Amino acid sequence: MKKLCCLLLLLASSVFASPVSDLALVGQGKMSWLFWDLYQARFYSESGRYRPEDYPQALSLRYQRNIDKEDLLAATVKEWQRLGVSWKQEWPQQLEQLWPSVRTNDELVLRVDNNGISRFYFNWRLLGSIDDPDFAQAFLAIWLSADSRDPQLTRQLKGG
């Protein structure tokens, strides 16, 4: 019985383990629009420093308001277009299958592993992955590129 309890505890902890528990916080900040706080963002890396394409890395977004999945998808594509990021047509469809709508205090985390595979977590539960290594760069560019929508947030996320 004791072995069964230990096994169940181990399984539960792996299902709900934080996707950033083995990474160090690089920086954090919040994104606001007009009068509303949209989300708190945190960026993590293995070294605790920002180094592009030095994986593993993770970006955590804790939402401060309700946002429908369709609006998240549209905003993502709009930012790729605005930044001139090269993106693939299948990515929005893959995200649509993975992402839920978010509510206040929900957390969406992108974790990129050493092979460039992007895994999304929602409130610490794995949603799924996108195996294209180009996706991670394109997605993280929304927050970390020099031309991001909020340069102050970019500096904060990079530890500046």
Q: In this predicted structure, what is the pLDDT of residue 1?
A: 55
Query: Cβ distance 105 to 63 under 8 Å?
Result: yes
pLDDT value at residue 33: 79
Predicted TM-score (pTM) of the model is 0.87
Q: Where are the domains of the chain?
A: 2-157
Residue 97: CA count within 13 A, CB half-sphere: 8
Q: What is the 3-state secondary structure (H, E, C) of 68-88?
A: CHHHHHHHHHHHHHHHCCCCC
The stretches in the chain having pLDDT less than 70 are: 1-16
In the CATH hierarchy, which fold is given to the domain comprising 2-157?
Chalcone isomerase (3.50.70)
Is 92 exposed, middle or buried, given 0-12, 13-18 or 19+ CB atoms closer than 10 A? middle
